Structure 1
Amino acid sequence: MSSTDDLLARTLREEAGPLVARLSRRFGDFDVAEEAVQAAVVEALTSWRRHGPPDRAGAWLQVAATRNAMDALRLRDRQRALAVRAEPPDLGPGEDTDDRLALLFACCHPALAPEARLALTLRAVVGLTTPQIARAFLVNETTLAQRVVRAKRKIVSAGIALTVPPEAQRAERLDDVLAVVYVMFNEGFVSSTGPTQDRDLAADAVWLARVVATSLPDQAEAWGLAALLTIQHARSRARFAGGELVLLRDQDRGLWDHDAIAEGERMIERAAALRHPGAYQLQAAIAAVHATGASWAETDWLQISLLYEELARYDASPVVRLNQVVAHAQVVGPEDALRRLETLAGPLAGYHLFHATRAQLLGAVGRDEDAEAANRRALELTENDAERRLLTRRLHRRPLDDGS
């Protein structure tokens, strides 16, 4: 990423969401505000790369977005509405944070379709363009644009307010917000191409998780998610080598960001102090054990296995149970783990990582032909290019790895 693109990414993270909220309040039209900021982002991508970034990047973006909004309203013959609205007051940093959070809650409202929540969040809150989002999710641009349009219409028609929900409703609504941020990170984390040309989707998700946690400091699961994403992203430099996916056991731990890992551990401690345990906190604890092990062999697998057992109390999904089996194999060996794995054959029949895990366990107990068949099935079900290449070159006799 060039220095100009890096500055643009940082500016959009800080400015895009608050700008949408400000313009929406000023002009009374969420759709106009969001489109105006999106157009300003596109202008910045072109202008800043060609002429270099301005001295006051945030002010440049605000002027461009405001001009776009006023032009749009003039085209819709809204001059009278403009005349009666006063200029918005300048907002300090704390209010900007509140604006981002309020906008995020609106974009993740349960009245919106799940896929629309993510697309709208990436555009309105994070500042990604429609082409960037489409590339990240391998979706046709027209299809993605239609999702965003429908979501914005729903916000207007349902009267969804750009406010943080009252405390009585906040916990339930926060679950939706955290789920969108988590999906956003995972889409960036498994990408075989790294950043979406000029934006690192996973880094954007880490930033957004921290915004939520610092804005709602008494929410333990918000800190848990921020910790989880911070620790996972700390390994990003080691996850690909020469364009090829590198599994956790083979990663160069010297490339990990150990300061970020330590920061994630502090977030876990802060979450624990709130005495309200949850699934994100347990996942963060598991990630921390992985990240603080001196090597693959020296990882505390027993602790990881016990943490997965606790996690299953909050999330008994087949995928969590699959991860639990992988950790169990490191503690007691492949035979017992394979027996446990077979109980998941039904619910995970279409999940490539089930078959990839089964291939490794089968190979470890000497069932080579069955392992090859399982590996082929995993390849059939895998759409990610990097994972396909990994499965193609991986020997089925290789020791079990629980992730990348």
Structure 2
Amino acid sequence: MFYNLTTVVLHDWRTYGEMRRLALLQYGLHTVEDNLPMQTLEQGLDVLEIMRNIHVFVGKYMYNLNNQVFVEEKSNNKHLNTINISHVANSIRTHGIGIMNTTVNFTYQFLQNKFYIFSQFMFDEQIKSRLLKDLRFFVDHKTELNQMYPYERAEKFNFGIKKLGLNPDGLSYLDLFRKLITQIGNAMGYVRMIRSGGRRCLADATCFIPDLKAVTDLNKILEDEDLQDSTKKVIECFKRDINNLVDNFEEATEYFKLLIKVFTPVFRNPQNIHLKNFYIIVPPLTINFVEHLFICKERLNKKNRAGAAFTDDGFAMGLAYIIELLNQSTQLNSLHWFQSIKAKHAQDRKNLEAQKAAASKEDDKLQQTLSLTEKRLNAFEKEFHLLFYSFNSARIFFQS
């Protein structure tokens, strides 16, 4: 019965296992073997599977920074898979804590490959010349622009890149570059989730230890007692397990710091001088991202939901990570980019109000057009706000 019910709803196996133990301990009932395979996961994808195919995972899933959850981009089924902290904790409980370090090693190898492509894009002559042109323009006209990088300039860059050609899927070079940064961010989001899952697993395992700080006192008490050799052996095993749990719980590895430390010397190497102007590409990249996410969210309300999404915080995560690796936070701040967006939206709203005032109420077609323009402006303003908050939240993770 337990076996049959578990095959119907997989995550109930734990409940049935507890029922079997209660039957034995409380009533002395010896139930038949349930024949469930060892290392059964309660629910969700296995961390081992994700780790082995991390290059596929970061491309097919979208990250949500606030809820720490990955949502599948598209699926042939009627439902989308999600992966959150509890799924990771289940996997770690099944495979052991050692899997966390292995996952970070796999992520490091993946990032190495992605950063090679990143460097090649930045080395491209057409990209380099455009960035230098925009940088020179901003430096020369800083005072007139009120220290704010002009929105029109970034929009022109985003549009101009499309003229260089599109791939078979209709994506420009900047779209592909944004996707690359998103995948790097997704990998970092996954590392964050692995760490949180590890903490959850350890918290569950240590929940019956009344006081973690008193574990050393327990060791002294056990050493003072006059016990048999067999009991001492069992106690040694018990002490080792408890100490292992406490050590791991209190001294969680800072994986983000490790992944910054390992790539920083390469990124800041004089040989990679072509990366020094990366911060100038951030404005067009953010416009490209907001346009992409706006289209994805619009598709949620349509019948054909191919390419629909409501979150994609991997971009903000990846951007924050790269800015920290290149040590370009100050340069990026000097562009006052998000203030420039705010000023642009305020001006657009002012123009719209003026058009509304000038338009006659009888002209239904014009009123409809203005209403749609306002709706679009509100949506874009909201998306830029969300990106601003996500990006600043992600920067906190990587601050040294």
Larger radius of gyration between Structure 1 and Structure 2: 2
Higher relative contact order (CA 8 A, sep 6+): 2
Alignment TM-score, normalising by the size of structure 2:
0.28
Alignment TM-score, normalising by the size of structure 1:
0.28
